[in-house]
């Protein structure tokens, strides 16, 4: 009797193996391998032979090739245009990921409304909500327009038929995990489904020059649910961040084939939807409410400086000392604590230390190190830091305070926001009214931080 062929596929990265394993050797995810049935194996075999047979393009010298005409158009949102690198590129496939309720559908429906008002024919495909539900949201966002079409549908073939029936100029898919291709014998949201659908949408975007935005749900660890291959296939990957308790949302570029990923879009959620934040100044801190354990610093989000509040809580530990941080790298926190213990003789090994960056901001640059140290010292001594002073500097393993990028721009923001003092690693080049204290060693700042 012929031996039955089995194939297991990782639901996280698409890795395939004939043997079941508890942990995927490709992406290290646990219990992500599921067995494919004979129909699914047959489908995979067929699609792999089709792709080798249809490859008939001939290579040409690069000098004979005309470049693509990238004429961007505005999405009607200054912040989204900034993250995209100057506007929407026709024929591009963009993936927007974000946790539940962060505002993905709200943002894209608003953009759909903006574009419809410029007489672009827009198709909003929703597999999650009914047309009536979306209409309710559109009323709230003031996104009603004749040129905006809604299609509550989960079947990819119906979506493709609709796209072919009218000359749409912008398409939104909400969400990729709910679409279903009849040609693929797996459940919606599975690796094979998501891969096939994205491939088809990519073909439509490129061949018809229509920009397509896809919404993707994210898993608990913050990556797009479904295969990582999704991120590789699309042109642009954007992530929505933000604390659902605060009204601010950050849209961060993770990958962009048409621009840089340095810029961050900042939006405000209110009852009229998600709008461009008018000014970020003062959104991430409250000068009047600073208490012991809070320190202010300036981080650069793309080309923009933002003043943020860093909070620390140091309390005596009854057992194994805990260290936990939200919005800041835990390993870096451990390094700073070890440094404080060694250089300043602080008995932090017997204390729990918690760090939080207010407003749901994630700090990805080392310039906030000094502020973290100041907040820890402030909480440990239970003494408030001056609400007029900001802390800037990267701290090295030797306790040296290193310079930060764009110092003059950061100091200018501090001045604009009405602060008076800053503890910095080097003297800023440009003159300002800010009194700068130059600190080059961690051991030296202790005498200065409570000034
Ligand atoms: N009437 C309202 N007034 C103010 N804010 C609202 C109102 N209705 C919804 N919201 C806000 O919009 C958010 C939901 O936004 P949205 O549905 O766009 O999120 P989503 O990211 O698409 O979520 P999901 O992943 O569940 O689809 C809510 O969390 C809430 O903050
Ligand atoms: Mg939604």
E-assigned strand segments in 175-263 = 212-217, 236-241, 248-256
In this prediction, residue 338 carries a pLDDT of: 94
Dihedral sign computed on CA atoms, order 425, 429, 434, 436: positive
Q: What is the mean pLDDT of residues 273-290?
A: 77
pLDDT tens sequence across 202-248: 999 999 999 999 998 876 565 555 556 688 889 999 988 877 677 88
Phi-psi region of 186 (alpha: psi -120 to 50; beta: other; left: phi over 0): beta
**Which of 98, 99, 106, 129 most suits a substitution to test ligand 1, by most atoms within 8 Å of the C-beta?**
106
Q: What gap in Å lies between CA 222 and CA 72, rounded to an integer?
A: 30
In this prediction, residue 49 carries a pLDDT of: 54
Per the document, the length of the chain is 451
User: What structural domains does the chain harbor?
Assistant: 7-48 (no CATH), 78-276 (3.40.50.300), 287-449 (3.30.230.10)
**321: its two tokens:** 């000392």
Q: What gap in Å lies between CA 309 and CA 303, rounded to an integer?
A: 19
Residue nearest to atom 23 of ligand 1 (CA): 101
Q: What gap in Å lies between CA 329 and CA 362, rounded to an integer?
A: 9
pLDDT tens sequence across 370-428: 999 999 999 999 999 988 899 999 999 999 999 999 898 899 989 988 898 999 998 87
Q: What residues are neighbours of ligand 2 (ion), with CB under 5 Å? A: 105
Q: What is the mean pLDDT of residues 302-318?
A: 90
The angle at the Cα of 317, spanning 316 to 318, to the nearest 5 degrees, equals 125
Q: Are 35 and 7 spatial neighbours (Cβ–Cβ below 8 Å)?
A: yes
**394: its two tokens:** 């990267």
pLDDT tens sequence across 324-383: 999 999 999 999 999 999 988 889 989 999 999 987 788 988 999 999 999 999 999 999
Name all residues whose Cβ lies below 6 A of ligand 1.
98, 100-106, 128, 140, 217, 244, 269, 271
Q: What gap in Å lies between CA 357 and CA 40, rounded to an integer?
A: 46
**Measured in whole angstroms, how far is the alpha carbon of residue 275 from the centre of its chain?**
17
Ligand nearest to C-alpha 243: 1
Q: Find which of 41-45, 273-277, 317-321, 442-446 is predicted with most confidence, using mean pLDDT.
A: 317-321
Q: Half-sphere exposure of residue 140, counting CA atoms within 13 Å on the CB side?
A: 17
Q: What gap in Å lies between CA 316 and CA 295, rounded to an integer?
A: 21
> pTM of the full predicted structure?
0.77
**Which of 102, 108, 218, 220 most suits a substitution to test ligand 1, by most atoms within 8 Å of the C-beta?**
102
Residue nearest to atom 5 of ligand 1 (CA): 271
**373: its two tokens:** 């140290």
Looking at the chain, the whole-number percentage of residues with pLDDT higher than 90 is 45
Confidence grade of residue 44 (pLDDT, cut at 50, 70, 90): low
Q: Are 381 and 350 spatial neighbours (Cβ–Cβ below 8 Å)?
A: no
In this prediction, residue 91 carries a pLDDT of: 92
């Amino acid at each position: 009797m012929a031996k039955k062929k089995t194939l297991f596929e990782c639901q996280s990265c698409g890795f395939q193996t004939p043997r079941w394993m508890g942990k995927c050797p490709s992406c290290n995810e646990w219990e992500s391998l599921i067995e494919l049935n004979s129909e699914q194996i047959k489908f995979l075999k067929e699609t792999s032979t089709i792709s080798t047979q249809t490859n008939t393009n001939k290579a040409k010298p690069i000098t004979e090739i005309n470049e693509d005409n990238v004429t961007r158009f505005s999405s009607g949102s200054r912040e989204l245009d900034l993250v995209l690198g100057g506007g929407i590129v026709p024929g591009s496939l963009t993936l927007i990921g974000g946790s539940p309720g962060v505002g993905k559908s709200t943002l894209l429906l608003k953009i759909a409304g903006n574009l419809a008002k410029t007489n672009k024919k827009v198709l909003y495909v929703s597999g999650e909500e009914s047309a009536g539900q979306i209409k309710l949201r559109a009323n709230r966002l003031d996104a009603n327009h004749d040129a905006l079409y809604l299609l509550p549908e989960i079947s990819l073939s119906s979506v493709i038929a609709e796209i072919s029936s009218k000359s749409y100029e912008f398409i939104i898919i909400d969400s990729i995990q709910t679409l279903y291709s009849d040609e693929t014998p797996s459940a919606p949201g599975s690796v094979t489904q998501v891969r096939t659908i994205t491939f088809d949408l990519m073909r439509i975007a490129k061949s018809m020059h229509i920009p397509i935005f896809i919404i993707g749900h994210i898993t608990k660890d913050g990556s797009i649910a479904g295969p990582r291959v999704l991120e590789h296939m699309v042109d642009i990957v954007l992530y929505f961040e933000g604390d659902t308790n605060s009204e601010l949302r950050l849209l961060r570029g993770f990958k962009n084939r048409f621009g840089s990923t340095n810029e961050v879009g900042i939006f405000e959620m209110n009852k009229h939807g998600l709008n461009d934040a008018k000014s970020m100044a003062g959104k991430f801190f409250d000068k009047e409410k600073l208490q012991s354990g809070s320190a202010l610093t300036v981080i650069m989000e793309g080309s923009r400086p933002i003043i943020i509040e860093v909070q620390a809580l140091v309390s005596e530990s009854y057992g194994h000392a805990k260290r936990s941080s939200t919005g800041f790298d835990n390993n870096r926190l451990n390094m700073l604590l070890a440094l404080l213990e060694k250089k300043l003789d602080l008995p932090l090994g017997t204390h729990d230390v918690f760090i939080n960056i207010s407003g749901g901001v994630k700090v990805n640059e080392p310039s906030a190190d000094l502020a973290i140290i100041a907040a820890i010292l402030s909480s440990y001594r239970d003494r408030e830091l001056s609400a007029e002073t900001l802390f800037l500097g990267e701290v090295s393993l030797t306790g040296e305070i290193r310079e930060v990028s764009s110092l003059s721009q950061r100091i200018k923001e501090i001045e604009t926001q009405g602060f008076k003092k800053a503890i910095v690693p080097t003297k800023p080049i440009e003159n300002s009214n800010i009194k700068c204290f130059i600190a080059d060693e961690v051991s030296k700042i202790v005498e200065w931080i409570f000034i």
